[in-house]
Amino acid sequence: MVIGWHRPTKIIIDKKAIIENVSNEIKRLPNDSELFAVVKANGYGHGAVETAKAAKIGGATGFCVALLDEAIELREAGIKEPILILSVVDSSYIELLIKYDLSITVATQEWLELASDYLKNMDEKVLLKVHIKVDTGMGRIGFLSKSATLQAIQTIKSEDHFIWEGLFTHFSTADESDDTYFQKQVQCFQEILDALEEKPRYIHVENSATALWHKQVTSNMIRFGIAMYGLNPSGDLLPSPYTLKSALTLVSKLIQIKELPVDSGIGYGKEYVTSGTEWIGTVPIGYADGWLRHMQGFEVLVDGEHCEIVGRICMDQCMIRLIKPVAVGTEVTLIGKNKKKEITMQMVAEQLGTIHYEVACTFSERIPREYR
């Protein structure tokens, strides 16, 4: 992937915000509890390695990713702490899991048996660190019943290739004000915990929403994702118990401005036509960067003023209606603060009819990330 280093569009990541969000959360945890920073999907678009390093400074003692390749990226960048892969990895990649000292999620008995056969056939004795995932109601991956979970635990304990490192579940409604379904999931997990004779090193159930708004279930590690980046998991629904500092700013610069007479068409399809003499500026960001076509009609900030995005968003550029003529090279803030005004990721998400998680992950890798 080519990165647009020679274009003024960039994402600025405030590492201090990540450090502060992580350390604020750690202050609320019981002493024996750890925080694993979730840095999958390139750190939710913020950059996995830099985010992981900032989270570590804030007190994170481990990391979670979704893909084997994401885990390898962290190891190759020198991250030494435990890394848990949260999704299923084909058992044929076990050698890589061991080579990179990774912990893997086990979601079915079939996988466990395949893994066991694979490990038995290896020339030297190796140990695979596993976390058992229980599906208490998310309907995604994991063991579906207490008996299936206990059978998996039995298999793991009876074979000396496995290190039983963790047991976990994931809640699907922790960011909602009605906690009825959440409590059902908690109860289902608690029944399994109550049936255990022995516990693994990590029991973990909390994503950001659970950590922020629910009292800890019997667990000793949290998987802290979106809130670490300074975004409220519920959007605007529930107030965060402490101020989350947004880490991401998206800026560009005007590459051309012009004064156009009335009836001038702007962009493909001439969807916008000037209604009088107007100052139109061009910003070098488009849908190929993840600044999607539905952003048409939304606003950006120039010199502390809201300016409407006019006409269709192009692949690499979009046009805005300026309040007043400004110099070429003037900064344009697409997400973040500009003088006294601010555009948040949540506002962009609302414009797109989605959640800020998706907005953050959608920014293309061709936008350079600058860390401050």
Residues annotated within the binding site for substrate are 140, 315
Q: Which residue is nearest to ligand PLP (CB)?
A: 225
Query: Which residues contribute to the annotated binding site?
Result: 140, 315
Q: Which of 47, 233, 281, 311 binds ligand PLP (CB under 6 A)?
A: 233
| Number of residues forming the site for ligand PLP (CB under 6 A) | 11
Q: Which stretch binds ligand PLP (CB under 6 A): 20-28, 148-156, 224-232, 236-244?
A: 224-232
Question: Considering the rule CB under 6 A, would residue 169 count as an interface residue with ligand PLP?
Answer: no
Task: Identify which range of 3-11, 202-210, 240-248, 302-310 contacts ligand PLP by CB under 6 A.
Answer: 202-210
Which of 40, 53, 56, 253 is labelled catalytic? 40
For the CB of residue 224, give the shortest distance to ligand PLP in the complex, in Å: 6
Provide DSSP, 291-345. --GGGTT-EEEETTEEEEEES---SS-EEEEESS---TT-EEEEEEEETTEEE-H
**Shortest CB 238 distance to ligand PLP, Å:** 13
Phi, psi of 299 (to 5 degrees): -125, 160
Q: By CB under 6 A, tell whether 207 contacts ligand PLP.
A: yes
Q: Is 366 exposed, middle or buried (0-12, 13-18, 19+ CB in 10 A)?
A: middle
Closest CA to 271 of 235, 319, 207: 319
Sole residue written with tokens 């890589």? 96
Please, which contacts does 262-267 make with residues 24 or more away whose CB atoms are closer than 8 Å? 265/311, 266/310, 266/311, 266/319, 267/310, 267/311, 267/312, 267/313, 267/314, 267/318, 267/319
Q: Which stretch binds ligand PLP (CB under 6 A): 70-78, 220-228, 246-254, 255-263?
A: 220-228
- CA proximity to 245, closest of 12, 20, 11: 20
Amino acid in position 235: G
Closest distance of CB 212 from ligand PLP, Å: 9
The residue (of 173 and 207) whose beta carbon lies closer to ligand PLP is: 207
When binding is defined by CB under 6 A, the residue of 58, 62, 166, 225 that contacts ligand PLP is 225
Residue 101 DSSP SS3:
coil
Binds ligand PLP (CB under 6 A): choice among 86, 247, 251, 332 = 86
Which is catalytic among the residues 99, 199, 258, 268?
268
CB 254 within 8 A of CB 302: yes
User: According to CB under 6 A, which one of 22, 29, 38, 280 is a site residue for ligand PLP?
Assistant: 38
C-beta of 152: minimal distance to ligand PLP in Å?
17
Report the SS3 class of residue 76: helix
Least Å distance, CB 43 to ligand PLP, is 11
208 binds ligand PLP (CB under 6 A): yes
**Nearest alpha-carbon partner for 14 in 335, 349, 347, 340:** 335
CB 334 within 8 A of CB 254: no
Q: Is 40 a catalytic residue?
A: yes
Residue 173 within binding range of ligand PLP, rule CB under 6 A? no
Q: Could you tell me if 138 and 171 are in contact, meaning their C-beta atoms sit under 8 angstroms apart? A: yes
Site stretch for ligand PLP (CB under 6 A), options 146-154, 182-190, 195-203, 223-231: 223-231
Which of 107, 257 has the CB closer to ligand PLP? 107
Cβ 94 vs Cβ 128: under 8 Å? yes
DSSP secondary structure letter of residue 127: -
Measured between alpha carbons, how far is 55 from 36 in angstroms, rounded to an integer?
9
In the complex, least distance from residue 283 CB atom to ligand PLP, rounded to whole angstroms = 30
Q: With 0-12 CB in 10 A as exposed, 13-18 as middle and 19+ as buried, what is 356?
A: buried
Tell me how far, at minimum, the Cβ of 69 lies from ligand PLP, in Å.
Answer: 17
Q: Does 170 bind ligand PLP (CB under 6 A)?
A: yes
Q: Which is nearer to ligand PLP, 71 or 313 (CB)?
A: 71
Which spans of this chain sit near ligand PLP (rule: CB under 6 A)? 38, 86, 170, 207-209, 223-226, 233
Q: Give the residue numbers annotated as catalytic, written as ranges.
A: 40, 268
